[in-house]
Structures are given as C-alpha cells and as structure tokens.
Amino acid sequence: MTVHLEIPESIANSVRLPAADIEPRLLAELALTLYAQEILPFAKAAELARLSRFAFAELVTTRSIPRHYGETELTQDLDYARGQ
C-alpha cells in the first residue's frame, strides 16, 4: 500500500522554505514526529525521511529525541548489517 498526502497549495505556499526544500523537509519532519511518538521504528522513519540511518540518527540527536531501541530495531539493524 502506498499513501499519498496532499498538501493544499495555500499551505505549501506558506512554508518558509525554498521550493526544492519543501518536500524533503516535510518528509523529515513527519518521520521525526512518527519516530518520537513511537509510531514508526527508527529504520522505517529513516526510510520515510529518505535519509541514511546515520543521517537520520544525527537529525534525531540534534532534535534531542530519545532513541527507542527494542527488539524490532535490533532485528532490523542485524538484517541491515547482514545486507538483507
């Protein structure tokens, strides 16, 4: 399943960012929020943000968002390390 979010033009025009930065920034903000609320695990939030895990970890750190690391994240990290 793929979900497409529609941002009304009036809101998109009100975002105080260069046009090229709006989509990546909104994706990162959504990913950070969903991760902080424990709705998405770390790896999936990084994927949503279209960032490497390392880059997403830096962003999480700069926002002072606590890392949630459980069995799911461990399994994903091990799979990633094994190239799966």
CA pair distance 42, 31, nearest whole angstrom:
9
Going from the C-alpha of 83 to that of each of 40, 67, 73, the distances in angstroms are 21, 23, 15
- Residues 42/68, Cβ–Cβ less than 8 Å: yes
**Among the listed residues 58, 47, 31, 40, the one whose alpha carbon sits nearest the alpha carbon of residue 80:** 47
Predicted structure pTM score: 0.78
Per residue in 11-30, pLDDT (tens digit) is 988 999 999 999 999 999 99
Q: What is the pLDDT of residues 41-80, one digit of tens each?
A: 898 999 999 999 999 999 999 999 998 877 877 888 888 8
